[in-house]
């Protein structure tokens, strides 16, 4: 597992968000270290995806503050936050189906905020495709990819933005037992290269094989955060999310 620094890269402070009567973030506070991999678990409707939306700016805060590299993100748009170094993937990959893998990733590298010419954008796209393990599908139309490779394309498009923080939203969902280790190895390598990762996932054994710390949220509240084994043994986490018969399985 990759090491990380003691320097806070991202600080979430007392953030609140509600949709009508539904509270999805109720004073959540935590820090993410530079180079860390943080996993997030919780029941459906806990506010996990909304938390990522608040970090990357897809949803505005009701109150609280998000600090990235000692700068408040509160007033910045999603594009501006992306230019600062925050990228994300989504649960359901939606590539440009008629465009090739390279063309899809080139869109990300061209519009990632830093001034680059076509040659530089192409080089970034090629590197991102390589890091995601998609070299064999360089000229394949995205609409013809199997699920694993659509997930890898989603990763490559995010990497083309050259992020410091990568937000992963259930990227392992739907993969087979044989496909899962391929994706996990890519995520481990990204983290080892210095990319800070915040990862929501329901496949808990996959998550804990990669992350340094684990956080559980439920009902918009932070229930527990710490070493994965400690969080998984937390009685409230077991009660609200895991269930008493939960066991962490193995994964390569």
Q: Token pair 């393990």 is at which residue?
A: 133
Question: pLDDT at residue 131 above 60?
Answer: yes
- The vertex-66 CA angle with 6 and 20, nearest 5°, equals 140
Same domain, 237 and 202: yes
Same domain, 90 and 77: no
- Residue 178 placed within a domain: no
Question: pLDDT at residue 27 above 50?
Answer: yes
What mean pLDDT comes out for the span 160-185?
A: 94
Instruction: Assign residue 229 the CATH number of its domain.
Output: 3.40.50.300
- Residue 66 placed within a domain: yes
Comparing 72-86, 153-167, 237-251, the range with the smallest average pLDDT is 237-251
What mean pLDDT comes out for the span 234-246?
A: 84
Same domain, 110 and 158: yes
User: Sorting pLDDT into bands at 50, 70 and 90, what band is 113?
Assistant: low
Same domain, 71 and 92: no
The residue among 114, 141, 162 that closes a domain is 162
Same domain, 95 and 132: yes
Question: Domain limits at 74?
Answer: 1-81+164-171+195-252
- Residue 176 placed within a domain: no
- Residue 185 placed within a domain: no
Distance between CA 197 and CA 64 in Å, rounded? 22
DSSP 100: B
- Residue 110 placed within a domain: yes
- Residue 115 placed within a domain: yes
Angle subtended by helix axes 147-159 and 118-131, to nearest 10: 140
Q: Quick one: pLDDT at residue 251? A: 45
The residue among 141, 162, 183 that closes a domain is 162
Render pLDDT for 135-158 as a digit per residue (tens, 0 to 9).
999 999 999 999 999 999 999 999
Q: Quick one: pLDDT at residue 198? A: 98
Same domain, 153 and 211: no
The total domain count for the chain is: 2
Same domain, 127 and 158: yes
pTM over 0.75: yes
Backbone CA torsion sign across 224, 42, 79, 134: positive
pLDDT above 70 covers a percentage of the chain that reads 94
Question: pLDDT at residue 244 above 80?
Answer: no
What sections of the chain are H helices per DSSP?
48-56, 78-84, 101-110, 118-131, 147-159, 180-192, 204-208, 228-232, 235-237
Question: pLDDT at residue 243 above 90?
Answer: no
Q: Token pair 């000229």 is at which residue?
A: 139
- Residue 183 placed within a domain: no
Same domain, 115 and 90: yes
Same domain, 251 and 205: yes
- Residue 21 placed within a domain: yes
Same domain, 54 and 125: no
- Indicate the SS3 state at residue 190: helix
Q: Please name the helix (run of DSSP H) or strand (run of DSSP E) that holds residue 90, with its range, or none.
A: none
Same domain, 74 and 103: no
Same domain, 52 and 111: no
What mean pLDDT comes out for the span 67-86?
A: 94
Question: pLDDT at residue 5 above 90?
Answer: no
Residue 165's nearest CA partner among 58, 82, 227 is 82
* Residues listed for the chain: 252
The residue among 162, 181, 214 that closes a domain is 162
């Amino acid at each position: 597992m990759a090491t990380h620094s003691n320097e806070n890269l991202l600080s979430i402070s007392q953030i609140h968000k509600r949709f009508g009567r539904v509270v999805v973030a109720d004073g959540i506070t935590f820090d993410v270290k530079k180079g860390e991999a943080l996993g997030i678990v919780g029941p459906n409707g806990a506010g996990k995806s909304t938390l990522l939306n608040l970090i990357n700016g897809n949803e505005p805060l009701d109150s609280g503050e998000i600090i990235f590299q000692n700068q408040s993100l509160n007033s910045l748009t999603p594009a501006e936050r992306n230019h600062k170094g925050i990228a994300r993937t989504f649960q359901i990959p939606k590539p440009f189906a008629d465009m090739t893998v390279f063309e899809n990733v080139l869109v990300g590298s061209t519009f990632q905020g830093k001034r680059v010419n076509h040659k530089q954008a192409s080089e970034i796209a090629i590197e991102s495709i390589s890091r995601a393990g998609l070299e064999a599908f360089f000229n394949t139309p995205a609409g013809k990819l199997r699920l694993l490779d659509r997930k890898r394309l989603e990763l490559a498009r995010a990497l083309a933005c050259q992020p410091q923080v990568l937000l992963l939203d259930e990227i392992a969902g739907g993969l087979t037992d044989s496909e899962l280790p391929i994706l996990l190895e890519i995520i481990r390598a990204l983290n080892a290269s210095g990319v800070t990762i915040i990862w929501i996932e329901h496949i808990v054994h996959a998550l804990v094989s990669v992350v340094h710390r684990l956080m559980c949220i439920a009902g918009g509240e932070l229930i527990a955060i710490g070493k994965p084994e400690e969080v998984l043994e937390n009685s409230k986490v077991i009660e609200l999310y895991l269930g008493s018969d939960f066991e962490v399985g193995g994964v390569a």
